[in-house]
C-alpha cells in the first residue's frame, strides 16, 4: 500500500475517499470552499487519510453509522445520525465504520479555506482567538451548523443557486463557528461582533450605494466581499446591516432584481432568453429558466407570450 502523506490539498483529498461521489462543487465558481458528497459503502474495514490544512466538517445526509477513528494512536467511536456533525482534525487519521440503518449511507464533506476563517476572525475582532476547538470531540450537535451544511449541499447540487448565496452562507458558517467554538474566545469579541462604533448615520447612505451598484452590475458575478467593499464594511458586518436595512439578504435582493429586470426585458424587447439570461447575470438560459419559473410560476417564454 502506498504511504499516506501527512498533509494533502483539498482537491487531492478526494482520491483517499472510499465512496462513490454524488455531488461536487469543484467545477462551480465558488470561492474559499469545496463541498462533496459520497454514497459510502455499508461497511469499511479501514480508510486512511492524510491531514488537511483547510477546515473540514462532515455530516450524514442519509442513513446512520457506527464510526470509529484513530487519531494519534487512540481509537474512539460514536454512533452518528443525520444532523450530527464531526470535525476532521488537520492530521493523518484512520477511519472504519458500519451502517446501523437500512437507509443508504451518504456523507457530506465541507472544506473551508483557512484564509477565509482568518479573515472572518479579523472582521469579528477576535484577535488570536481563531483556532477552533472542535477536534477533541468525536461528534457535536449544532442544529445551525447542520442546517448550513445541508443548505450548502443543496446549493452544490442545484446549478441555479448563485455564488452570492453560497458566499453569504459560508461567511455566516465561519462566523458562527468562530463565535461559539474558538479557543479562548473573549467576552469583548462577542460584544464587538456587531457594527463598528457609531455607524448609524452612515448606514442608509452605504446601503443605497450598494443597491445602486447592484443595479448597475446585474450582469456581473457579484460576491459578498465586493458588495461589502462598496459599503465600506467588512463582509461579516455588511450582511447583517444589509438585511436589517432592506429586509432581505444580499442574495435575496440580487435575485429579485435580476428576475425583475429579466421580466421587464421579456416584455419590452425581442432579445432571446439566452441574451436576457446573460444580461441579468445568469450563467446560461437553463439556470435562468429554472429560477424564473420558481419565482414567477411560468417559463420565460410563457411569460413573454402572456404579454
58-80 pLDDT, tens digit each: 999 999 999 999 988 889 899 99
Domain contains 188 = no
Alpha helices (H) along the chain: 10-13, 114-123, 143-157, 163-181, 187-191, 203-216, 224-231, 235-246, 250-268, 273-279, 285-296, 300-306
What's the pLDDT at 195?
A: 40
Return the SS3 of 177: helix
Q: Are residues 241 and 171 in the same domain?
A: no
Q: Are residues 202 and 298 in the same domain?
A: no
What's the pLDDT at 130?
A: 59
> How much of the chain exceeds pLDDT 90, in percent?
50
110 pLDDT higher than 70:
yes
Q: Are residues 26 and 122 in the same domain?
A: yes
Dig out the grid coordinates for 281 from the structure: 447575470
Q: Are residues 242 and 295 in the same domain?
A: no
Write out the residue range of the structural domain in which residue 139 sits.
7-175
pLDDT-based confidence at residue 199 (cuts at 50, 70, 90)? very low
- Pairwise pLDDT comparison (88 vs 36), residue with the higher score: 36
Total structural domains within the chain: 3
Domain contains 183 = no
Tell me the per-residue pLDDT of 120-170, one tens digit each, with 9 for 90 and over. 888 877 655 556 666 556 788 889 999 999 999 999 998 776 788 899 899
Q: Are residues 103 and 38 in the same domain?
A: yes
CB 24 within 8 A of CB 68: no
Dig out the grid coordinates for 186 from the structure: 473573549
Domain contains 283 = yes
- Across 237-250, average pLDDT: 86
Query: What is the CA 23 to chain-centroid distance, rounded?
Result: 14
Q: Are residues 90 and 149 in the same domain?
A: yes
pLDDT-based confidence at residue 2 (cuts at 50, 70, 90)? low
Is the whole-model pTM more than 0.75? no
Q: Are residues 35 and 124 in the same domain?
A: yes
Q: Are residues 59 and 16 in the same domain?
A: yes
Dig out the grid coordinates for 43 from the structure: 461497511
Q: Are residues 103 and 36 in the same domain?
A: yes
Amino acid at each position: 500500500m502506498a504511504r499516506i502523506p501527512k498533509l494533502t490539498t483539498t482537491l487531492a483529498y478526494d482520491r483517499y475517499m472510499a465512496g462513490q461521489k454524488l455531488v461536487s462543487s469543484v467545477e462551480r465558481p465558488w470561492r474559499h470552499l469545496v463541498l462533496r458528497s459520497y454514497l459510502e459503502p455499508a461497511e469499511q474495514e479501514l480508510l486512511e487519510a492524510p491531514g488537511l490544512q483547510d477546515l473540514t466538517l462532515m455530516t450524514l445526509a442519509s442513513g446512520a453509522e457506527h464510526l470509529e477513528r484513530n487519531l494519534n494512536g487512540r481509537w474512539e467511536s460514536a454512533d452518528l445520525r443525520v444532523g450530527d456533525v464531526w470535525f476532521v482534525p488537520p492530521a493523518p487519521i484512520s477511519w472504519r465504520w458500519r451502517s446501523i440503518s437500512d437507509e443508504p449511507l451518504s456523507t457530506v464533506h465541507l472544506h473551508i479555506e483557512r484564509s477565509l476563517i482568518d479573515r472572518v476572525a479579523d472582521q469579528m475582532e477576535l484577535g488570536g482567538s481563531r483556532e477552533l476547538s472542535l477536534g477533541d470531540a468525536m461528534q457535536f450537535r449544532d442544529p445551525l451548523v447542520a442546517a448550513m451544511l445541508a443548505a450548502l449541499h443543496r446549493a452544490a447540487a442545484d446549478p441555479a443557486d448563485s455564488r452570492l448565496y453560497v458566499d453569504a452562507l459560508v461567511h455566516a458558517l465561519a462566523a458562527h463557528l468562530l463565535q461559539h467554538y474558538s479557543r479562548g474566545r473573549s467576552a469583548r469579541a462577542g460584544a464587538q461582533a456587531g457594527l463598528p462604533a457609531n455607524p448609524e448615520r452612515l448606514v442608509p447612505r452605504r446601503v443605497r450605494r450598494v443597491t445602486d451598484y447592484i443595479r448597475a452590475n446585474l450582469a456581473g458575478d457579484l460576491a459578498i466581499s465586493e458588495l461589502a467593499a462598496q459599503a465600506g464594511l467588512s463582509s461579516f458586518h455588511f450582511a447583517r446591516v444589509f438585511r436589517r436595512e432592506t429586509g432581505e439578504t444580499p442574495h435575496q435582493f440580487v435575485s429579485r432584481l435580476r428576475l425583475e429586470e429579466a421580466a421587464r426585458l421579456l416584455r419590452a424587447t425581442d432579445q432571446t432568453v439566452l441574451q436576457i439570461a446573460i444580461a441579468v447575470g445568469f450563467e446560461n438560459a437553463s439556470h435562468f429558466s429554472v429560477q424564473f419559473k420558481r419565482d414567477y410560476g411560468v417559463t420565460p417564454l410563457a411569460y413573454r407570450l402572456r404579454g
